[in-house]
Structure 1
Amino acid sequence: MKVAVLGCGIMGQTHARNYAVMPGVELAGVCDEQEELGAQLAADCGTTAYTQFEEMIAAVKPDVISICLPTYLHKPYVILAAQAGIHIICEKPIAPTLEEANEMIRVCEQNRVRLFIAHVVRFFPNYTDMSRRIHQGGIGKVGVAHTKRVGGHPAKAKPWYGNKAKSGGVILDLLIHDIDYLRSVLGEVQSVFAMNRTSMQMDYALVTLRFQSGAIANLEGYWGYPGPFTTAVEFAGNKGIIRFNSNEVSSIRLQKAPSELKEGSPRVAVPSSPAFHDPYYYELKHFIDCIIKDEAPIVTTDDAYRAMEIAFAAMESAESGKPVFFKESDGLSVKEG
């Protein structure tokens, strides 16, 4: 499988370095308009650097391309790749607007190419282990969930993040990770209520989701956080609590209700998965395998689009100060006032 990478920033470097060591995959080229950036990555990965997308496509003729550009540049290059018959792995979110996302999905379908959106949290071992335990009934019926995703403001290094029209801000760019993950665990969302505070130094959001199952989740996202980048998640069910915090040594903690604890059993369970993996490798390998085997991915394009719908509903709620509701019969396709 011949692959290429468009965009040689942090995410492009991550994709390229994982492809370079992936069995059955040839990293045939990387592309960035910043010549030195592309040349350095190409040297590191043993491939060829290009500064023009069209030049790389003509020379390499890849089967798959990873699009690791800023969000507002996704649409034109996804469409060009689709029209060239190339399967696409695109970083999240799909686009800065639902209209652009719709067009990208439609063009890929018309050209019969696969479009994968890289919601990598589904592939983080701790998050995967938590969802497995919950789906197996480890903590019973989930009633409440809390997530946290905080770190420095990316606009300090990349000014486009500070332009909400281009990045979508902290809700669309950062909290969409937790929106997608929670939906994969708890199902469809019934309503959204949110607050969002921004300044030159920070972008903070608190989003409350009520799910059709009755569960309620509070999601906290913060660009401009003075401490280290931190992710955390906690689920509380009627039989126990399961939690993870990236700043803690233990990968996740599972606490059972006292009535279910056997004599002498520990109150903290350590998952079988190791504390460290490269989730990007497993994500990309999964997408490549889906193309080869013609299978549906763990996170579908529809999943990615629905996460965008919820994110935009949260932004609408934050602007109006009112909750946004979705019709249960139609999933997330119709909003109510």
Structure 2
Amino acid sequence: MAKLKVAVIGCGSIARHRHLIEYAANPEAEITAVCDIVKERAEEMAVEYDAKVYTDYEQLLKTEDVDAVSVCLPNYLHAPASIAALNAGKHVLCEKPMATSREVAENMINAAEENNRKLMIGHNQRFVPSHQKAKQLIESGEVGKIYSFRTAFGHGGPEGWSIDGRDSWFFEKEKAFIGAMGDLGVHKADLMRYLLGEEFSEVAAFVETSAKGDTDVDDNAVCVLKSESGIIGTLVASWAYNAGEDNSTIIYGENAILRLEDDPKYSLVVQYTNGEVVNYELGGIQTNESGGQTSTQVIDHFVESILEDKEPLITGEEGKKSLEVILGALESSETKKISNVRG
């Protein structure tokens, strides 16, 4: 069977460390074109993956006969590039956050529907083994009623990860739209929706710029969330965890406490109310720190969704719902009031 022809738009860090590597490792996909506004970056990746070079994604979409594209651009370009690709008849995997507003996210979803193409958002937290195991335990009823949770995602900031370092678009509000909340917080909003199996209805938040100088995007945020059934918990996103990364989640249930990515050895620790403790070694979470890189499974899932013509786990609709949690948090921080998650 012919391989799925793929183009990667944007050749920065996320493309290099995730998308390109994982497409190249997938036997059913073939990278045929790469695009970056900085020609040298595109050329470097083109040599590595034997692909054609473009500096204009519209030209690429017009010229190249590809089946699917990955959109790995700054946040403000996610929607325009995704919509252009969908209208050109390509399936789209878009990095998170999918858009900068609810309306723009809806435009992306509509473009996918109108063109009968798949739109997937790159929320890789759903594929982490400990998170999938925790979801099974919750769904089976073993944990009992869920009362509360706390989830955090923090590291020292994108300057240690982005290809442009401190000059990265991550720190420019007109390009990034949001900082740590868009980079990290939206991942955890998506994860908690997935684990709990329900939507959040209300959010209260403090969203601050306190750790990084000379930027107007948030770098520290603390949110209190309430789900539709009344589960309450906290979500923290930070670019100020300078000594190391925190990617932990703790879920407090009637019969057990689940500790996810909270122990250096065991990716999931289940503490039962009867005193029993079960430790799971399920393989590590993806990390921005060197040495711990594993496949995110996002690309494999996207390719499989196209080839088998099935809905991806994180559709545009799912991406929008996770974005809405973050938009509600920003609104709460600005108004100093509790926000409804969906307007």
Answer yes or no: same fold by TM over 0.5. yes
CA distance in 2, matches of 1:66, 1:250: 33
Deviates more, 1:307-316 or 1:287-296: 287-296
Flag structure 2 segments of 5+ consecutive residues without an equivalent. Answer: 160-164, 287-292
Residue 33 of structure 2 corresponds to 29
CA distance in 1, matches of 2:181, 2:38: 29
Q: CA shift at 1:104, angstroms?
A: 2.0
Partner amino acid, structure 2, of 1:163: E
CA distance in 2, matches of 1:205, 1:131: 25
Contact persistence 2:155–2:240 (CA under 8 A): yes
Partner amino acid, structure 1, of 2:239: W
Residue 184 of structure 2 corresponds to 174
Deviates more, 1:307-316 or 1:201-210: 201-210
Residue 264 of structure 1 corresponds to none
Flag structure 1 segments of 5+ consecutive residues without an equivalent. Answer: 262-266, 327-331
RMSD: 2.1
Correspondence 1:275 to 2:290: no
TM-score norm. by structure 2 comes to 0.87
> Aligned to 1:258, what secondary structure does the other structure show?
coil
Contact persistence 2:201–2:228 (CA under 8 A): yes
Q: CA 1:222–1:216 in structure 2 vs 1: closer, same or farther (change >3 Å)? A: same
Contact persistence 2:124–2:296 (CA under 8 A): no
Residue 12 of structure 2 corresponds to 9
Deviations 1:185-222 (A, max 9, x none): 22111211111121344721111111122211201111
Correspondence 1:163 to 2:167: no
Correspondence 1:129 to 2:140: no
Correspondence 1:197 to 2:208: yes
Deviations 1:110-141 (A, max 9, x none): 22222111111111222222222222223221
Deviations 1:38-95 (A, max 9, x none): 2222222333333232443344310000010011111221122122111111101111
Residue 185 of structure 1 corresponds to 195
Residue 45 of structure 2 corresponds to 41
CA distance in 1, matches of 2:20, 2:110: 27
Correspondence 1:207 to 2:217: no
Q: CA 1:282–1:290 in structure 2 vs 1: closer, same or farther (change >3 Å)? A: same
Correspondence 1:119 to 2:129: no
Q: CA 1:38–1:251 in structure 2 vs 1: closer, same or farther (change >3 Å)? A: same
Residue 217 of structure 1 corresponds to 233
Q: CA shift at 1:309, angstroms?
A: 1.1
CA distance in 2, matches of 1:232, 1:176: 14
Where in structure 1 do 4 or more consecutive aligned residues deviate above 4 Å? 276-281
Contact persistence 2:258–2:270 (CA under 8 A): yes
Residue 102 of structure 1 corresponds to 106
> Aligned to 1:322, what secondary structure does the other structure show?
coil
CA distance in 1, matches of 2:131, 2:173: 28
Contact persistence 1:240–1:256 (CA under 8 A): yes
Correspondence 1:68 to 2:72: yes
Percent of paired sites with the same residue: 31
Q: CA 1:250–1:30 in structure 2 vs 1: closer, same or farther (change >3 Å)? A: same
Q: CA 1:121–1:276 in structure 2 vs 1: closer, same or farther (change >3 Å)? A: closer
Residue 290 of structure 2 corresponds to none
CA distance in 2, matches of 1:295, 1:30: 26
Partner amino acid, structure 2, of 1:189: F
Contact persistence 2:109–2:317 (CA under 8 A): no
Residue 254 of structure 2 corresponds to 238
Q: CA shift at 1:323, angstroms?
A: 0.7
| Structural mapping, 1:257-272, within 5 Å | 257-258=273-274, 261=276, 267-271=277-281
> Aligned to 2:279, what secondary structure does the other structure show?
coil
Q: CA 1:113–1:236 in structure 2 vs 1: closer, same or farther (change >3 Å)? A: same
Give the length in aligned residue pairs: 321
Residue 145 of structure 1 corresponds to 149
Q: CA shift at 1:246, angstroms?
A: 5.8
CA distance in 1, matches of 2:124, 2:73: 16
Q: CA 1:276–1:151 in structure 2 vs 1: closer, same or farther (change >3 Å)? A: closer
TM-score norm. by structure 1 comes to 0.88
